[in-house]
Structure 1
């Protein structure tokens, strides 16, 4: 059989982007343990990445320190890599943020990535006395310092919000030259501009939403243009697209599953900033599906959506499934299992060799069956001849029955 050298596709990776979003009636201490179990489940299923959020207010997003969660989750897993999704840089002295990440890099022996952003929740910034108008500028300042520290530079710098005097990392990175750095990018061009300036990865956190989907091509174009101005070349394998997904055996079952918690999450998002307004009298689940904001259906449905993202953006490195509690825990775990069983092999083409083998047998079925039957008949004839030489009578010969069974 001829071997197709292009049988296997580009290594599209798959992961989770976990804020997380948990009902405010739940036991928080128990939910941490259940979240660890979810990450262990993903590790067993072969997911590649888990990005963990940072939030300090509003109720549902319960992880204040992604570094603490990652440290514990890494001890429970074997292969999955972890990213901060994201550290809100304006909330932290850049030396402290850099030190924590380099410790994690060593502690996990290179299984971490550093996702950064300006901070999403206005309530977090308010409690820290930070004007949202300055968050993106502060993120840019902090990111520049962090990268210099990662490169081993000694930094002396004073701004209106931090002071560094001969600041340097006292631990070397485990990953050479340092952990991968990714910038959050939603709709505005700020993420793409920073990613291009420094040649970093991009976390497209709103790729599944209408505005974020429409902005994909624009922001990627901006990133590439800025990268060229600074002598960089953007690497599409370092681009991650976040997509809301819940899968079941049928579309009807998936719709039924998400009635468990979808409305509660929409209410939470609207409580932070009203933007998902369900028209009066319209079913929340039906409205959400009609907007194509998420994939609530079967593995075939999410395959189709990812292929649309590929058409829109071109090549990218990873799909990150939004972590959520739209369905109950059992159905949520099953959804990830369905994704691993049927969606992953579609994109890595790991079953291409099996399919080629099946189709080769189909094309050559007549010849192969003929050879098999001829070999069997020859064995019967040899057996009959040997039996006759031993003086056995026909009544003592079992070949007729065996041959009938074979045929």
Structure 2
């Protein structure tokens, strides 16, 4: 029998078409050269642009040999001239890693360089080895994140000399002592998109209270691909609560959900590449994620209930619960069933993995864009 938490928290709406996005942490096996994996990650975003994906988010870490993009904004800047319509998102910019004035200024320049295609994805920065390398391991990075968000948005909203010094703010910003309008000194640049680019927060925990703050601040949530459907469903009520606190109605179109998907021409090929093959990038990805969460004491992310014993969480079960694989028809059915479970949302975000087999990886993205998404949107009442 299904429990109440298995039921969607809001009903899927007819006529609300999904967009298609792309997200990569990215995560590569050891042994490949850095130049090779960086180029592969670039080619994935270029392909997504050619296929009509709405946006692409790329993650960043400083000290992870597997997740080896150190600055997502810098990486995405290399793609501005090689893409034409896709929005380029940081996935995320880790706000504890640099002063928010740098984030605001560099992001504004990126927005102009890209013709207004920036999406600023933000998070505190979760990797402890990154924090140690920067000398902030013992700092309250959640507080640093909250202060940085307020400083970035204030810089974009205000004019020089800014005087951003709210109570407890660790990053006061002012140019009052040195501002010289005649010389053009003292003003930080504004982004091209006004009043600001879209800001997105990745949600990686069940019942996340951070989603409430996203609703209040008009940021948009992106639910992580490694969360079980029942935990993804807990994000929407919190987003609604945040919007209500701001006196605004929450729109499902603003909610992105990432899923780990592989689409193939046959069920046998899909099953083999996504689950059973020893060199499956999907198997590698979730083996790494499971090991990492066990080390961090967060294996509950993969549990079907919080009181389930740790030993019940196996790699095979994780793959079974979190990988959506099959032919276009099968994947369409699985995504519609997922939508029935969590409720309506605005964008399905395709999780990009290592290209063990480049032809299969490209074919999966192609089928997702040309077959699956149109079929999903037909089923929910309107073609894309």
Instruction: Report whether the alignment pairs 1:238 with 2:254.
Output: yes
Q: Residue 92 of structure 1: SS of its match in structure 2?
A: coil
Shift of 1:248: 1.2
Q: Secondary structure at the match of 1:349?
A: helix
Task: Give the alignment of 1:7-406 within 5 angstroms.
Answer: 9-131=15-137, 134-153=140-159, 154-157=162-165, 161-166=170-175, 170-187=188-205, 188-206=207-225, 209-210=227-228, 213-258=229-274, 259=277, 260=279, 261-274=281-294, 275=299, 286-290=316-320, 292-325=321-354, 327-349=356-378
Alpha-carbon distance in structure 2 between the residues aligned to 1:324 and 1:342: 20
CA distance in 1, matches of 2:163, 2:212: 23
Unaligned runs of 5+ in 2: 1-13, 177-185, 304-309
Shift of 1:122: 2.4
Higher helix share: 1
Matched positions, count: 340
Task: Confirm or deny: 8 A CA contact 2:94 2:122 kept in the other structure.
Answer: yes
> RMSD between aligned alpha carbons?
2.9
Shift of 1:156: 2.9
CA contact (8 A) 1:199 1:233 kept: no
Is the Cα contact below 8 Å between 2:20 and 2:347 reproduced in 1? yes
Q: Does the CA-based 8 Å contact 2:204-2:227 persist in structure 1?
A: no
TM-score of the pair, normalised by structure 1:
0.76
Shift of the 169–110 alpha-carbon distance from structure 1 to 2, 3 Å rule, reads farther
Q: Which moved more, 1:107-116 or 1:225-234?
A: 225-234
Bigger radius of gyration, 1 or 2? 1
Kept after mapping to 1: 8 A contact 2:59/2:93: yes
Provide the C-alpha distance between the structure 2 equivalents of 1:163 and 1:62, rounded to a whole number of angstroms: 31
Contact 1:247 1:297 in 2 (8 A): yes
For structure 1, which segment, 146-155 or 102-111, has the greater mean C-alpha deviation from structure 2 after superposition? 146-155
Question: Structure 2 CA distance, aligned partners of 1:252 and 1:103?
Answer: 47
Which string of whole-angstrom CA distances, capped at 9 and with x for unpartnered residues, describes residues 259-299 of structure 1?
2233433343244332379x99x995x54443x11212222
CA distance in 2: counterparts of 1:346 and 1:305, whole angstroms: 12
Give every structure 1 segment of 4 or more consecutive aligned residues whose post-TM-superposition deviation is greater than 4 Å: 158-161
Q: Distance between the aligned counterparts of 1:270 and 1:105, measured in 2?
A: 36
Task: Provide, for residues 45-90 of structure 1, a one-character-per-residue CA deviation record: whole Å limited to 9, x for no partner.
Answer: 1111100111112211111111111111121011111111111111
Shift of 1:132: 7.0
**Secondary structure of residue in 2 paired with 1:339:** helix
Assess if the C-alpha contact under 8 Å between 2:16 and 2:253 holds in 1. no
SS class of match (1:155): coil
Query: Residues 91 and 128 of structure 1 are in contact (CA less than 8 Å); yes or no, is this contact kept in structure 2?
Result: yes
Cα 1:155–1:305 shift into 2, 3 Å: farther
Stretches of structure 1 lacking an aligned partner (at least 5 in a row) = 1-7, 355-407
**Alpha-carbon distance in structure 2 between the residues aligned to 1:100 and 1:148:** 15
Structure 1 counterpart SS, 2:30: coil
8 Å CA contact 1:150–1:169 kept in 2: the answer is no
TM-score computed with the length of structure 2 as normaliser = 0.80
Contact 1:254 1:297 in 2 (8 A): yes
3-state DSSP of counterpart to 2:221 = strand
2:336 and 2:376 in contact (8 A); partners too:
no
Of structures 1 and 2, the one scoring higher in RCO (CA 8 A, sep 6+) is 2
Moved more, 160-169 or 89-98: 160-169
In 2, distance between residues paired with 1:14 and 1:80? 11
Question: How far apart are 1:310 and its partner, in Å?
Answer: 2.4
Q: 1:234 to 1:92 in 2, by over 3 A?
A: farther
